[in-house]
Amino acid sequence: MNLITSTDELLSVCRRLAAHPFVTVDTEFLRETTFWPKVCVIQLASDDEAVAVDALAEEIDLTPFFELMADPGVTKVFHAARQDIEIVWHLAQLIPAPLFDTQVAAMVCGFGDQVSYSELVQSVCKVTLDKSSRFTDWARRPLSEAQITYAIADVTYLRDIYRYLHARLERSGRLHWLADEMSTLTSPATYEQHPDNAWERLKHRARKQRDLATLMELAAWREHEAQSRDVPRSRVLKDDTLIDIALAAPRDAEALGNLRSFPRGMERSRTGVEILAAVERGLARDPKSLPRHTREQRSAGGGATVELLKVLLRQVAERHGVAAKMIATVEDLEAIAASDKADVAALTGWRRELFGQKALELKRGRLALTVENGKVATLEWREAAGEMPSQEVA
């Protein structure tokens, strides 16, 4: 079995891997009972070898792995890199670079939104992966031969997928399209967990300024608590309960305890005291410090425009063979509907050339949508009087 369990073995393999122009990387981790991901196995491969590293082995120091991840002469190839990079960032405060994410590349090449690794293996390598070890306990030792074989397969086929996608992007002149996505993935800001921003991930019903201010303070408190205790957010307080507290804004332990979703007895604990303090901070916040535009506010006056932009986005994505999500998000469309100068990726670079400019023309009535032979088509009205419109079909 190609299992690395000591620092000396890891150092030797990382030195060999560093001699190659790229290495493929994956991790197996657990997160069910912790806030931060717990890495159990790290998989690495070059053209010459593929190994699994036992990250929980008693006699292993992962420093050689981190040094390889920081080597500027070696491209690190991941599939759906974000969680893997988060692990490296949390453990070593560094981000693997240069970076190539095959899931992002596949979106540019028309494989759809968030295509899975197994789907790419099937499509590119014509191999069906054995998924029987996918949900095994990666923290349990010893690792079985089946687990190791499964783990290593996640980086061996990735080599051929990388070559295929890289060559395809070069031929189409789209390799530079990945730049924006890779810069986001390699930015520390992507992985820094700021408690003050924790409210943004909640699907909430806060419409009033007071409700939003209280929710922001409660979410920040819970995020700090979860991080410091290294437990999932839901172990501290569930989302629905957090939102109920924000909307009710209880001022004392009795009112807090009367909430149906609140755990019985907790209102008299240290946690209850801290929750009430967070509510008071929220109620005391200056309304001017709150976000000016929520998603609901942006979409309230431009719902019809957003729907038309969604149709245009699908048409452009199908015509150019690019995943729609790669071009623009729903939030981007809402922002464009609200302002021609929206600060969104869809109005910059290649995205603007492909879609953004058309979106603005649609808003201005200079572009129309129609159906031609069962497919959505665009009609662009030119300035010359009497000239017929040009037509573009998906």
- Token pair in block for residue 236: 């501290």
Q: What is the mean pLDDT of residues 338-362?
A: 94
9 and 107 belong to one structural domain: yes
Range 344-383 burial, b when 16+ CB lie within 10 A, else e? bbbbeebbbebbbebbbbbbeeebeeeeeeeebbbeeeee
Of 233, 257, 289, the residue at which a domain comes to its end is: 289
**Residue 188 CB coordination number (10 Å):** 10
Of 155, 174, 190, the residue at which a domain comes to its end is: 190
168 and 313 belong to one structural domain: no
8 and 121 belong to one structural domain: yes
Does pLDDT of 153 surpass 50? yes
Number of domains in the chain: 3
pLDDT of residue 384: 35
35 and 173 belong to one structural domain: yes
276 and 305 belong to one structural domain: no
CATH at residue 98 = 3.30.420.10
Does pLDDT of 167 surpass 80? yes
Q: Are 37 and 30 in contact (CB under 8 A)?
A: yes
Does pLDDT of 171 surpass 50? yes
103 and 243 belong to one structural domain: no
96 and 202 belong to one structural domain: no
Question: Which residue do the tokens 């006056």 mark?
Answer: 301
Burial-class residue 336 by CB neighbours within 10 Å (0-12, 13-18, 19+): buried
CATH at residue 220 = 1.10.150.80
Q: What is the mean pLDDT of residues 209-215?
A: 94
Range of the domain at 214: 195-289
Of 257, 289, 321, the residue at which a domain comes to its end is: 289
**Residue 7 CB coordination number (10 Å):** 15
Instruction: For residue 145, give Cα distances in angstroms to 49, 61, 74, 198, 279.
Output: 17, 23, 29, 40, 52
pLDDT band with cut points at 50, 70 and 90 for residue 289: confident
The secondary element (H helix, E strand) that includes residue 255 is: helix 253-257
173 and 34 belong to one structural domain: yes
- Token pair in block for residue 394: 């998906």
Instruction: Report helix, strand or coil for 307.
Output: helix
Q: What is the mean pLDDT of residues 331-340?
A: 94
pLDDT of residue 172: 94
Instruction: Report helix, strand or coil for 153.
Output: helix
39 and 108 belong to one structural domain: yes
